[in-house]
A and B are shown apart, each in its own frame.
Chain A
């Protein structure tokens, strides 16, 4: 079993990894979901997590986002060991998740979704600062080139790609350290997938670490800097995307060479 070590590819400005997982182990009752998993992510790096169904990818995402706590093992953010009581603790530490089912409120406008649960308010009555939220949202979607009619558009009137763009924009707005993407294009068509991939690639420039789960190896090779393979909860290895091939990754995923 290969253990990942800190490869120093890419910009070397910061040596402390944003996220460091050491010997993470998670079992549910007697069932081991993740065994002895270690991984480091640097700012501006995209790491893909691949593996068959039931390999433990989603469990790992849930551990990093605070939904599950590991049975043992340590999580460090910017060199400091952290424990997450729940998802909101992880969120307050600058970790955002883009869920497969989007987690958007369909009948609300884009800007209210961007600020969902974290609305900008003023005064003792906690009144909404709509103008501020709208202009911040508009600036962000323009910057990320998420093409929506306006920040005031209702989510239900948007296409699948536009919605995923909004979900990613929301994560981008709040994440200071890490964004977790769980199958971000699973429900999208070809053109929309390309659009969303472009947005994800643009996030690298924001110096945020990104961990992405995807079933599409083509997508993984287009987007990631490194690929981490899981099989039945065991970490098979971590490869630099530029120095590996689809065949190698497929054989790591399936265990057949």
Chain B
């Protein structure tokens, strides 16, 4: 058999954009901010801790995008989940609070999923609507008040605690990325998600239950957003309606830069982790540079634009 030459995917620069960008941004801040404490262990671990919720949302988002759908509502889900957990824990046990938080995430994901998978509505419009809907519900749940979370076990597990000297937020991040990666890359479900996003018609005639896959990815996204809500609540020891609100752009950018195709069929959970860390590093560095908030937003927006443009170049499907 003749071996024909084909574009070698291992030499494809787009695969490495996120790693290259990560290294470049890291090097840039390491040099320019050497005297401002960027390279201290404390600062670097802070970056990882701060990005934990966004990374976990990104894991869910990789599945949604890969299946050819989108979820714009995860920020609102995060707020509703954190508030549900906090409110329940005021009167009930920690376990009830965790169940309420994760259950709220799953339930909203299910709600999104049913409308997308079975009522055949476009996920962009459904989740744009539920983004607003649940942002409103989060506000009305507690009349805009923030709810303190005083359960020490909870704040330990989901916030400031550690196991064998490793901060719990890092363990959650690692756990979500490893579990997500294995399901995405190694399981039959992951293969069906990719096939659905790649060519839903081909997946359907091959016997894959496409609606069930669409429902599942939106529920996965809801679950991840719910877990992110618990991490926020644990870390700042309170829940309020603003949690997750500003993560939409960062998570989408992290996932796209991390090599997940905007139209499905291709992606990477590990890439999303690196993308998320890159976004966190960018935030952190711009703050340490002492830029005013408005300039931070401008620089961050431009860098995301460049990174996304490089990631999506020649990849227009």
Contact = CB atoms under 8 A, between A and B. Distances in A.
Contacts of A150: 3
B191 interface: yes
A117 B207 contact: yes
Interface residues of B, number: 31
Contacts of B294: none
Contacts of B187: 121, 125-128
B1 A107 contact: no
Interface stretch (A41-49, A141-149, A189-197, A248-256): A141-149
A119 B191 contact: yes
A107 B208 CA distance: 17
B162 to A, nearest CB: 29
Interface string B75-101: 000000000000000000000000000
Contacts of A106: 198-199, 265, 317
Contacts of A128: 186-188, 190-191
A104 B207 contact: no
Contacts of B206: 103, 116-118
B2 interface: yes
The CB with the most chain A CB atoms within 10 A, among B188, B190, B208, is that of B188
Contacts of B199: 103-106
B188 A105 contact: no
A107 B192 CA distance: 13
Secondary structure of the A contact surface, majority rule: loop
B91 to A, nearest CB: 38
Interface in A71-111: 87-88, 91, 97, 99, 101-108
B189 interface: yes
A164 to B, nearest CB: 14
Interface string B265-303: 110000000000000000000000000000000000000
Contacts of B47: none
A58 to B, nearest CB: 15
Interface in A44-59: none
A103 to B, nearest CB: 4
11 contacts: A103-B205, A106-B199, A106-B317, A107-B194, A107-B261, A117-B208, A125-B182, A126-B188, A149-B3, A150-B3, A154-B9
Interface of A: 87-88, 91, 97, 99, 101-108, 112, 116-119, 121, 125-128, 142, 145, 147-150, 153-154, 157-158
Interface of B: 1-7, 9, 182, 186-192, 194-195, 198-199, 201-203, 205-208, 261, 265-266, 317
10 A-B pairs with the lowest CB-CB distances in the bound complex, closest first = A117-B206, A105-B198, A107-B265, A103-B202, A117-B207, A116-B206, A149-B6, A126-B188, A105-B199, A107-B266
